[in-house]
Amino acid sequence: MTRSAPPACDTIVAPATPPGEGGVGIVRLSGSRAEALLAAAFRGRTAPPAMVSHHLYHGRLCRRDGTPLDEVLAVIMRAPHSYTGEDVVEVHCHGGSQLLRCILDLFLAEGARLANPGEFTQRAFLNGRLDLAQAEAVAALIGARSEQAARIALGQLEGRLSQQIHHFTTELRELLLLLEAHIDFPDDDLGTLDHQAVSTRAAAVHAAITELMLTFDNGRALREGVSVLILGRPNVGKSSLLNALLGEARAIVTEIPGTTRDTVEEELVLDGLPLRLIDTAGVRDTTDPIEQEGVRRAREKARAADLVLLVLDGSQPLTAEDRMAVAMAPPERTVLVRNKSDLPAAEEPHSHPFLSHVAVSVRQGTGLAELQAAIVAHFCGPGAGDTVGGVVLAERRHRDALSGTLTALERFRAAQAAGEPYECLAFELREALAALGQITGETTPDAILEQIFSRFCIGK
Amino acid sequence: MAVRRTMSEGAHYQVIVVGAGHAGCEAALAAARMGCRTLLLTLHLDMCGQMSCNPAIGGLAKGHLVREIDALGGEMARNIDATGIQFRMLNTKKGPAVRSSRAQADRDQYRLRMKLVLESQPGLDLKQGQVVRLLEAGGRVSGIETREGLRFQAPAVVLTTGTFMRGLIHVGLVHYPGGRAGEPPSEGLSEHLRALGFVVGRLKTGTPARLAKSSIDFSRLEAQHGDSVPRPFSADTERIDRPQLPCHITYTNACTHEIIRGGLDRSPLYSGVIEGVGPRYCPSIEDKVVRFPEKDQHQIFLEPEGYASGEIYPNGVSTSLPLDVQRAFLRTLPGLEAVEIMRPGYAIEYDYVDPIQLLPTLETKALRGLYHAGQINGTSGYEEAGAQGLLAGINAALQAQEREPVIIGRDQGYLGVLVDDLVNLGAKEPYRMFTSRAEFRLLLREDNADQRLSALGRQVGLLPEARWQRYCAKLAAVATGGGRLREVRVAPGDRDTLERLGLGLLNNGASLEELLRRPEIGLDDLLFLDEQLAALPVEVRDELETSVKYEGYIRRQQDQVERTRRMETQVIPADFDYATVASLSAEVREKLQKIRPHTLGQASRIPGVTPAAIAILAVLLRR
């Protein structure tokens, strides 16, 4: 229930590059403990205190128990001569989202905090490293990136996982409200608190979070990757395009269960970039309420997707349904795919402000390489946003929050076993809820009170 | 000090306080004690400090507020110490910071003593009169005007209108204007405030019937007694040796609930006559019966109204049912078979001014020099009112003296939590304090209220010198005691001592502090080992025990406070133009513009203001 923006004094960490399976990845730390954090994990001929500022050193990054994670190059840029004006450490490692995750976890476990959107830039500004005139630009950047981060975090939290995490919150709130009711209403005839029941329920949440954390570590818990939505009217060739992309990439991973009947999701990795390909029901002009619902969902999906592939039939003039699809596609995140390029082109109707145009023939397999290149360029090329890094970050943020919840719950159970008073137990539960609140939003005192009033007959 | 009293009407004052309830009395006393010529105007001079509802002070979080009032130099704690008839410490086993004092009061004595204190306060004029409008000059308040057309000038005015503005009393389907049973409402002032542009809303509260003591058979009822050694609220009170009276406990039953259900068609609550929003934590008995049908009984406390009073206050049966239903259901309670009602229970609707329109100094944003405190801000409770009145009085006086205002932080006291909640969240229902509202609860204990606030009380000139010296002496005693705990050791070979403490072998011996950390050992168990410790006053010993036993928790809580420090000290200029910040969403801009937070920390507590928005503001404030 500490309701605060991040303090600007702790040490933050984030990937500075989008993860790719083959290339180089950079993890960046900034803050007073950056060097100490590196020292805790870096094993090389030159140890961090002896490193000269702005020089690269070769070594291995190791876990606490000494097992090596990766061969890396590390550089310390000591304050104030760094981008943020604080001590900055960069670790250049091999690419790959799994490895990047492990390295982030390593620093998080040592006490770093995941950077908020735009926080490196914010620190640079606050430490006088940026021109004063750039303040507005920095502010705009923070706003834009936060919005993007929120969109990604929500996208990651669909379905079962979201339900699970909300269930944890509900359970912990319930335990807290029992304690708080017995603290604040001693004369209200509430009966005695059932310690055994509280203990059992706390243990159940603890066990469930522990299990979920394991699936995180296996990389199975969250939807990997950025979302790419295939949009267009029925029979324009969407499903064939999906299959062609999957076939080309030869990397079908799983079919995700629990998706709605009118969308199909597939995962693939393109040039080391993890993608979720989503095929929607066709966009159809209709008055049928069920189909209207399908269209509404397609519109929602288009809004949420990281990239939209808008498929049109290049051999025919635009239909009313095509126009509906065009209207749904966000121009700054859409690649226009003109299918059936093997057939004679209809008159050139496409003067829309999309990212790029690609002509393909799914039937003949032409143009697919260009399309793949356009997708990768959008996410990894010059001008690419934080999308990919954002996905990894959002995923780590969830893990971090769950891990914090777990720590607090362990303290809660120890305190309960030691017979600490209600007030101290409530303190630990509030910490657990605050950690979980990084995903689900904070639990306000009012929310707890509201539940107390609806559960118990309060008021002498 | 010779004080010239201004007796002529239409005189100039430095501070005018409107209303002499729990908020108004504290506000007026604070202003006068800080050296301001002060006028306290009220509708009925015999009702200063009247307890409109239950005859009790304190309780969870409320006891804390009373200690804070005392630490700042207010009157409530002394008043209840002098007029209490039963004292209890609640929650003794649930943690150090949620222990709370509660006392039953002699209703008449409480009021009479408060009036005496007001009358003998130099620099304070006490007058009867109804204020109908505020005077303005140069965009700020300049005084008030009474119904009779009398004008009093002052650069600072504190409004504490309680339930009086457009008060409407309901008993069954009968309703009539009234500010409290037997007293007329205040008409005109809330219309005037609305005309000035304030958002005025309507709340509701209620109170139970008062019963004839002589008609109750106490012999079959369980008695609840006070503590054998009553602990005073005020540091000025050495001890309480007045005789203590018991309360009694009875219960409603199926028959009671049946009668109540049968009367709902004539309930103003359930027939839609009442528009005001009532408190969820203090529901009427008809509400409890309807909302919790599975509960087959509700606990009722029968509280004495005073040593000499023939009336009993039945706590737990607040109601606005018709009088015949009130009597019928009360007579189903054990011990109350022949009960006679002396005053009917009733609901009351009244106007309040949404506190979201206030600065954290309790000054209104719309009209400089105007302060609101108590139920006008949508709060309920004597203690909440008293604490706000004190802060409003202090700030009104500071403004009249052209000094910097005082704002109390959430880590400094429940008073800080209260005001911060009011100005950021507004009040949609009557607001009552609970310990769960305080995120830094472990730091806000009754026993350390003086350490949190007495320096502030002294700084503004409210805490008398003698009291300050006593506080310094307590601090010194705490330091001495802490030293003894670390110095005095039990040797490994000291078998007698170890046996007496129920301990096994100690390899290297242990200091008393180390021993005190053990859950099974309390400070009282160790007193035989050191005369200096044994000689310390009980409140000092309590504090020593708490600081040792909960050191880990207290430190973690202090770390949490420290993490918010930077935000809490980053001031946002009052004229900051949110409209020009394009990177904030329109919704966030609108919220910030409306509340105009004083600090970045306060901004972060406004619902809907995101961490990203705070980061953006942090950047822009450095510009």
Residue A301 has pLDDT above 50, yes or no: yes
Contact A6 B425 (CB under 8 A): no
ipTM of the complex: 0.91
Among A80, A78, A102, CA closest to A90: A78
* Closest CB to B560 among A2, A189, A423: A2
C-alpha–C-alpha distance, residues A133 and A354, integer Å? 32
Residue B526 has pLDDT above 50, yes or no: yes
Sheet architecture: strand order including A24-30: A42-44, A56-62, A68-77, A88-94, A24-30, A12-15, A113-114
Contact B94 A421 (CB under 8 A): yes
Contact B436 A457 (CB under 8 A): no
Burial of A16 (0-12, 13-18, 19+ CB in 10 A): middle
pLDDT of res. A381? 57
Tens-digit pLDDT profile for residues B52-106: 999 999 999 999 999 999 999 999 999 999 999 999 999 999 999 999 999 999 9
Q: pLDDT grade, residue A392 (50/70/90)?
A: low
pLDDT of res. B221? 97
Question: Which residues on A lie below 8 Å from B622 (Cβ)?
Answer: 125-126, 135
Partners of residue B38 on adjacent β-strands: B15, B124
Name which residue leads in pLDDT, B411 or A351. B411
Q: Does A15 touch chain B (CB under 8 A)?
A: no
Contact B316 A459 (CB under 8 A): yes
Strands B200-207 and B311-315: what pairing?
unpaired
Among A432, A383, A367, CA closest to A406: A432
C-alpha–C-alpha distance, residues B220 and A271, integer Å? 85
Dihedral over Cα of B386, B392, B396, B402: its sign: positive
Contact B583 A139 (CB under 8 A): yes
In single-letter form, the type of residue at position B501 comes to: L
Contact B94 A6 (CB under 8 A): no
Sheet architecture: strand order including B84-90: B56-58, B100-105, B84-90
Domain B570-621 indexed as CATH 1.10.1040.10: no
Kindly report which listed range (A26-35, B34-43, B491-500) carries the lowest average pLDDT score. B491-500
Question: Which residues on A lie below 8 Å from B295 (Cβ)?
Answer: 457
Tens-digit pLDDT profile for residues B131-180: 999 999 998 999 999 999 999 999 999 999 999 999 999 999 999 999 99
Q: pLDDT grade, residue A158 (50/70/90)?
A: low
Contact A189 B298 (CB under 8 A): yes
Residue ranges per structural domain of chain B: 15-205+350-460, 210-348, 465-554, 570-621
Contact B583 A140 (CB under 8 A): yes
Q: pLDDT grade, residue A262 (50/70/90)?
A: low
Residue A219 has pLDDT above 80, yes or no: no
**Which helix (H) or strand (E) covers residue A122, if one does?**
helix A119-126
Find the closest chain A residue to B588 by CA distance: A143
- The rounded Cα A428 to chain-centroid distance in angstroms is 27
Give counts: helices (H), strands (E), chain A: 13, 13
Contact A122 B620 (CB under 8 A): no
B-facing residues of A in 177-196 (CB < 8 A) are 180, 182-189
> Contact at 8 Å (CB) between B129 and B41?
yes
| Orientation of helix B76-83 relative to helix B107-119, angle to 10° | 130
Contact A183 B566 (CB under 8 A): no
Kindly report which listed range (A215-229, B390-404, B449-463, B572-586) carries the lowest average pLDDT score. A215-229
Q: Which CATH architecture has domain B210-348?
A: Beta Barrel (2.40)
Burial of A363 (0-12, 13-18, 19+ CB in 10 A): middle
Omega within 30 of 0 (cis) for the link into A80: yes
Find the closest chain B residue to A449 by CA distance: B436
Question: Which residues on A lie below 8 Å from B91 (Cβ)?
Answer: 183, 186
Token output for A433: 């809820």
Q: Does A123 touch chain B (CB under 8 A)?
A: no
Q: pLDDT grade, residue B10 (50/70/90)?
A: low
Contact B434 A140 (CB under 8 A): no
pLDDT of res. A18? 61
Q: Does A453 touch chain B (CB under 8 A)?
A: yes
Q: Does A386 touch chain B (CB under 8 A)?
A: no
In CATH terms, the superfamily for domain B15-205+350-460 is FAD/NAD(P)-binding domain (3.50.50.60)
Q: pLDDT grade, residue A318 (50/70/90)?
A: confident
Question: Which residues on B lie below 8 Å from A187 (Cβ)?
Answer: 59, 90, 301
Tens-digit pLDDT profile for residues B590-608: 999 999 999 999 999 999 8
* Closest CB to B564 among A2, A117, A182: A2
In single-letter form, the type of residue at position A42 comes to: F
Q: Give the SS3 label for residue A174.
A: helix
Task: For chains A and B, count residue pairs whose Cβ atoms are closer than 8 Å.
Answer: 164
* Closest CB to A5 among B316, B556, B614: B614
Q: pLDDT grade, residue B541 (50/70/90)?
A: very high
> Contact at 8 Å (CB) between A141 and A119?
no
Percent of chain A with pLDDT over 90: 26
Q: Stretch A254-281: mean pLDDT, rounded?
A: 59
- Which of A226-230, A325-329, A378-382, B365-369 is most confident? B365-369
Question: Which residues on B lie below 8 Å from A457 (Cβ)?
Answer: 283, 288, 291-292, 295, 298
Contact B299 A460 (CB under 8 A): yes
Among B103, B129, B117, B109, CA closest to B39: B129
Quote the Cα angle for B259-B261-B266, to 5°: 95
- The rounded Cα B229 to chain-centroid distance in angstroms is 24
Name which residue leads in pLDDT, B248 or A264. B248
Q: Stretch B505-530: mean pLDDT, rounded?
A: 90
CA distance A160 to chain B (A): 26
**Which helix (H) or strand (E) covers residue B124, if one does?**
strand B124-128
Contact B439 A119 (CB under 8 A): no
What is the rounded average pLDDT for all residues in chain B?
A: 94
**Which helix (H) or strand (E) covers residue B168, if one does?**
strand B168-171
Q: Give the SS3 label for residue A347.
A: coil
C-alpha–C-alpha distance, residues A123 and B616, integer Å? 11
pLDDT of res. A409? 97
Dihedral over Cα of B315, B316, B321, B322: its sign: negative
Q: Please state, as a whole number, how many other Cβ atoms lie within 10 Å of the Cβ of residue A40.
A: 16
Among B420, B410, B430, CA closest to B565: B410
Contact B612 A117 (CB under 8 A): yes
Contact A186 B60 (CB under 8 A): yes
Q: B41: alpha, beta or left, given left = phi > 0 and alpha = psi -120 to 50?
A: beta
Q: Does A4 touch chain B (CB under 8 A)?
A: yes
B-facing residues of A in 404-423 (CB < 8 A) are 418-419, 421-423
Domains and CATH numbers, chain A: 12-130 (3.30.1360.120), 162-175+190-419 (3.40.50.300)
What is the rounded average pLDDT for all residues in chain A?
A: 78
Q: Please state, as a whole number, how many other Cβ atoms lie within 10 Å of the Cβ of residue A52.
A: 11
Name which residue leads in pLDDT, A377 or A228. A228
Question: Which residues on A lie below 8 Å from B441 (Cβ)?
Answer: 423, 426-427
Among B438, B441, B446, B454, CA closest to B543: B446
Contact B619 A186 (CB under 8 A): no
In this structure, which topology does domain B465-554 adopt according to CATH?
Arc Repressor Mutant, subunit A (1.10.10)
Residue A337 has pLDDT above 80, yes or no: yes
pLDDT of res. B311? 98
Burial of B595 (0-12, 13-18, 19+ CB in 10 A): buried
Name which residue leads in pLDDT, A433 or A10. A433
In single-letter form, the type of residue at position A16 comes to: A
Tens-digit pLDDT profile for residues B254-312: 999 999 999 999 999 998 899 888 888 889 999 999 999 999 999 999 999 999 999 99
pLDDT of res. A116? 79
Question: Which residues on B lie below 8 Å from A117 (Cβ)?
Answer: 612
Contact B60 A184 (CB under 8 A): yes
C-alpha–C-alpha distance, residues A138 and B622, integer Å? 12
Q: Stretch B558-579: mean pLDDT, rounded?
A: 89
Name which residue leads in pLDDT, B194 or A117. B194
**Which helix (H) or strand (E) covers residue A151, if one does?**
helix A135-156
Q: Does A287 touch chain B (CB under 8 A)?
A: no
Token output for B619: 């950047």
Q: pLDDT grade, residue A272 (50/70/90)?
A: low
Contacts of B339 (CB under 8 A, 6+ apart): B211, B212, B215, B216, B327, B330, B331, B333
Q: Does A117 touch chain B (CB under 8 A)?
A: yes
Residue B3 has pLDDT above 50, yes or no: no
* Closest CB to B567 among A4, A422, A449: A4
Name which residue leads in pLDDT, A384 or A44. A44
Token output for A177: 């409200």
Q: Output the 3-class SS for B365-380.
A: CCCECEEECHHHHCEC
Contact B441 A449 (CB under 8 A): no
Q: Please state, as a whole number, how many other Cβ atoms lie within 10 Å of the Cβ of residue B232.
A: 21
Q: pLDDT grade, residue B253 (50/70/90)?
A: very high
Q: What is the residue whose two structure tokens read 């700042």? A: B72
Q: Stretch B564-591: mean pLDDT, rounded?
A: 88
Token output for A379: 């996410």
Contact B434 A2 (CB under 8 A): no
Among A405, A427, A413, A412, CA closest to A183: A427
| Orientation of helix B414-425 relative to helix B382-400, angle to 10° | 80
Among B308, B307, B295, B337, CA closest to B316: B295
* Closest CB to A8 among B98, B436, B566: B566
Contact A459 B611 (CB under 8 A): no
* Closest CB to A5 among B291, B437, B615: B615
Backbone angles phi, psi at B21, to 5 degrees: -85, -155
Among B616, B617, B587, CA closest to A144: B616
C-alpha–C-alpha distance, residues B352 and A438, integer Å? 36
Question: Which residues on A lie below 8 Å from B612 (Cβ)?
Answer: 116-117, 142-143, 146-147
Contact B612 A146 (CB under 8 A): yes
Backbone angles phi, psi at B247, to 5 degrees: -95, 170
Contact B98 A183 (CB under 8 A): yes
Q: What is the residue whose two structure tokens read 């209840």? A: B80
Q: pLDDT grade, residue B507 (50/70/90)?
A: confident
Residue B608 has, within 13 A of its CA and on its CB side, a CA count of 14
Q: pLDDT grade, residue A290 (50/70/90)?
A: low
Q: What is the residue whose two structure tokens read 């008062």? A: B210
> What is each CA distance from B550 to A150, A434, B477, B478, B545, in whole angstroms?
39, 21, 19, 16, 8
Token output for B14: 């430095």
Find the closest chain B residue to A186 by CA distance: B91
Q: pLDDT grade, residue B8 (50/70/90)?
A: very low
Contact B91 A140 (CB under 8 A): no
Among A348, A339, A394, CA closest to A162: A394
Write down how long chain A is.
460
Residue A20 has pLDDT above 60, yes or no: no
Q: Does A218 touch chain B (CB under 8 A)?
A: no
Q: pLDDT grade, residue B467 (50/70/90)?
A: very high
C-alpha–C-alpha distance, residues A449 and A456, integer Å? 10
List, as one string, the DSSP characters of B189-230.
Answer: HHHHHHHTT--EEEEEEEEPPEEEGGG--GGGSEEE---SSP
C-alpha–C-alpha distance, residues B268 and B345, integer Å? 13
